[in-house]
Structure 1
């Protein structure tokens, strides 16, 4: 065999190299085609999903029936929150999705819906209905009105409602403790869970009855109507106030908020006290909050003595770490928000002086020194 010259060998290597480059180019081109095809497919699928979602959203926000519209009389109860209003509208067939209605209202930051009787139509869009509910129906005189202060215990709320409505306190309490009714409420309200059915809890709805003014068209509403007006309001307030940043369940959050409500004398103190609770939970050490002792005793103590703190109760935070079994009163929005937004500090103790001033300390020795100045 004739040996190739140097020039021929170089030419042969160039040809082999070129052939290899051509093969790699073909492979790269094929890969690019596959990647491009996959990208196009993904874009088409995403576009189809987006278009389908858009169509669904627009259909949910549009009229239910424009071709054969029907007039529907809809009653929005006093105290109704967005969740209740959405369910009422869907049940009456004037919107197609209560879920989309709730999301849309929150996304648009709509509020100010008014109770009353409305003449709505299936040819109305969600925007039309929202505008109608904000403008309000013809105002009716309220036959019953009463106000629940922040920090009231459930039994105090029921006593106030009974006094104003003519109902018996025991009837309201009995309704609020009825297990079948409570299970119905758990199914209806996102904020309610089986936590309220714990056998150690004194009043299952403690903490969930929002403190506010309540107006009723009827002079003698049913116990359920009164209770649900307060639950509707609490659910609406929680939906608006909570950011989802807390690790607490709603039950735990309302429990912490109720302690803050019992301890704080003004809004400035609430985040500071919330910070103390956070710090003590982190140690961990007993919270040692006096309002929990009062609730454990079932009476509002003007002062808490050492013997008072010895009571055996799942509500007493002197003889256990962590939160009590449930809320000890019904807190307002400021206390609820302070649980999610505690003041960051290193205090573990605080003391209210007889003059109403509050003092925070990092150590027990400092705390004792502060207390000693007023005793």
Structure 2
């Protein structure tokens, strides 16, 4: 190690002292540098400031340095190494028992042999002879509607129909609350003779050409152009009468012209309440000298055209204006149309919830045949409806008289004991048809009866009607008033 040092002079000059002071202010304090030739770097120790500079160069560590006590990180290597153990340090092998000397050592297990101590998870290989794979069974899914997961519960399936039913009932209640009247529906003809007739309505403003085309469409004539030519030739195209006509099919042009252009003088006829259709036919024969049965034929034609289930009871009594040459057809049509007008004002009856219009027409005809006194009609109607409500025979003799066709002579006992459709003493309910032509008062009494507790009535010799609730009271009235 070489050591270089410098000492102060004993008496420096003034300039030298000034220069040295300036250099000391500019320069930093001296440091000691140690160069380790072994490659180790030591941190220099801080020293107090001194005016001398010392450089130490050595090839051995300075005795003043402290050893580096920091622990180095261990390193791991993957290289293989061989350790040789001396013979004197090797472990002594254990002596083998004599019994095991005669046994064979187990052969080492190869890689192909399975380990018995390990659970085998691999499946066995299939034999070489089995080449084709077994076919899997095809699973057919059930239909959509049959799957359990797709079927809704019963309560949910019934919810929609229940809601629809409630809405329909609510709509019907609203319609009934607003007073909407039921329409007049005529039931079809159940059977009997069917006539090839049609009802034709000629309205105001229709020309001869329009009428001819309508008649061709309904089958009354075959050629509308030929009918129009006939009406123009006969100068009848401008005198066609408005109204409703019941015509047969395939008529001659002259017959059609006679029906549509009737210019003869009209006449008034009056049909009293209680007349039957046979009575009206006889009345027209005596007064107008028409063929017997003409009115009945006109009534049957009208029933076929309008599909009525019966004729007696559908024609309203009253006064009508008709033409002489068409008296039967016009009267039948006028009486039927007047009945429809009268029924329009009776459709608000509460009895229509239980009975049909035709059933109430039959009741009206029975009331009309039982009495001509308007004041007695509501009481008789109440007795009829009370018996119908309790399923009791009506016991009205007028129905048997209608069946016999005799309104004057006493009813034979045999007829009263025979079970016939019109014998209301033996039959429960209404007869199959009306028994006469009712009037307006009888119609109203049938649709709006009086509210009474009576089940019996009789006409006494005092020309009054007597009611009774029980049969004993009725017998007392028979004894007293007959």
Aligned to 2:374, the other structure's residue is in SS state coil
Q: Could you tell me the TM-score, scaled by structure 2's length?
A: 0.44
Pick the aligned partner of 1:286 from 388, 393, 397: 393
Counterparts of 1:163 and 1:254, CA distance in 2: 28
**Is 2:279 the partner of 1:156?**
yes
- 2:206 alignment partner in structure 1: 92
Aligned to 1:351, the other structure's residue is in SS state strand
- 1:215 alignment partner in structure 2: 321
Gap regions ≥5 residues in structure 1: 1-83, 94-115, 119-139, 187-192, 197-204
How far 1:283 sits from its partner (Å)?
A: 1.4
How far 1:155 sits from its partner (Å)?
A: 0.4
Aligned to 2:279, the other structure's residue is in SS state helix
How far 1:362 sits from its partner (Å)?
A: 0.4
**Is 2:356 the partner of 1:242?**
no
Counterparts of 1:244 and 1:373, CA distance in 2: 37
Contact 2:268 2:321 in 1 (8 A): yes
How far 1:349 sits from its partner (Å)?
A: 0.2
Task: Look at both structures and tell me which one has the larger radius of gyration over its CA atoms.
Answer: 2
Counterparts of 1:148 and 1:343, CA distance in 2: 27
Decide whether aligned partners of structure 1 residues 297 and 312 sit closer, same or farther in structure 2, where only a CA change above 3 A counts: farther
How far 1:287 sits from its partner (Å)?
A: 0.1
How far 1:144 sits from its partner (Å)?
A: 2.3
How far 1:355 sits from its partner (Å)?
A: 2.4
Pick the aligned partner of 1:322 from 417, 425, 429: 429
Pick the aligned partner of 1:230 from 312, 321, 335: 335
Contact 1:210 1:332 in 2 (8 A): yes
Q: Could you tell me the TM-score, scaled by structure 1's length?
A: 0.56
Pick the aligned partner of 2:293 from 166, 170, 191: 170
How far 1:207 sits from its partner (Å)?
A: 0.8
Contact 1:162 1:172 in 2 (8 A): no
Q: Which structure 2 residues correspond to residues 1-375 of structure 1 after superposition, within 5 A?
A: 88-89=202-203, 92=206, 143-178=266-301, 181-186=302-307, 193=308, 195-196=309-310, 205-216=311-322, 218-221=323-326, 223-247=328-352, 248-304=355-411, 306-375=413-482
Decide whether aligned partners of structure 1 residues 228 and 91 sit closer, same or farther in structure 2, where only a CA change above 3 A counts: farther
Decide whether aligned partners of structure 1 residues 222 and 149 sit closer, same or farther in structure 2, where only a CA change above 3 A counts: closer
Counterparts of 1:91 and 1:295, CA distance in 2: 45
Decide whether aligned partners of structure 1 residues 334 and 156 sit closer, same or farther in structure 2, where only a CA change above 3 A counts: same
Aligned to 1:360, the other structure's residue is in SS state strand
1:266-293 superposed Cα distances (whole Å, 9 cap, x missing partner): 1111111111011101111100001111
1:61-110 superposed Cα distances (whole Å, 9 cap, x missing partner): xxxxxxxxxxxxxxxxxxxxxxx99x6448839xxxxxxxxxxxxxxxxx
1:276-332 superposed Cα distances (whole Å, 9 cap, x missing partner): 011101111100001111012111144446444124421111111111111000101
1:134-158 superposed Cα distances (whole Å, 9 cap, x missing partner): xxxxxx9953222100011110011
How far 1:165 sits from its partner (Å)?
A: 2.4
- Say which structure, 1 or 2, has more relative contact order (CA 8 Å, 6+ apart): 1
How far 1:360 sits from its partner (Å)?
A: 0.2
- 1:8 alignment partner in structure 2: none
How far 1:223 sits from its partner (Å)?
A: 2.9
Decide whether aligned partners of structure 1 residues 313 and 177 sit closer, same or farther in structure 2, where only a CA change above 3 A counts: farther
Higher fraction of helix? 1
Counterparts of 1:374 and 1:245, CA distance in 2: 35
Decide whether aligned partners of structure 1 residues 164 and 347 sit closer, same or farther in structure 2, where only a CA change above 3 A counts: same
Aligned to 2:467, the other structure's residue is in SS state strand
1:327-366 superposed Cα distances (whole Å, 9 cap, x missing partner): 0001011111111211111110001002211100001011
Aligned to 1:173, the other structure's residue is in SS state helix
Counterparts of 1:167 and 1:243, CA distance in 2: 41
Aligned to 1:213, the other structure's residue is in SS state strand
Gap regions ≥5 residues in structure 2: 1-198, 208-239, 243-262
Counterparts of 1:243 and 1:166, CA distance in 2: 42
Counterparts of 1:276 and 1:242, CA distance in 2: 22
Decide whether aligned partners of structure 1 residues 307 and 91 sit closer, same or farther in structure 2, where only a CA change above 3 A counts: farther
Counterparts of 2:383 and 2:405, CA distance in 1: 25
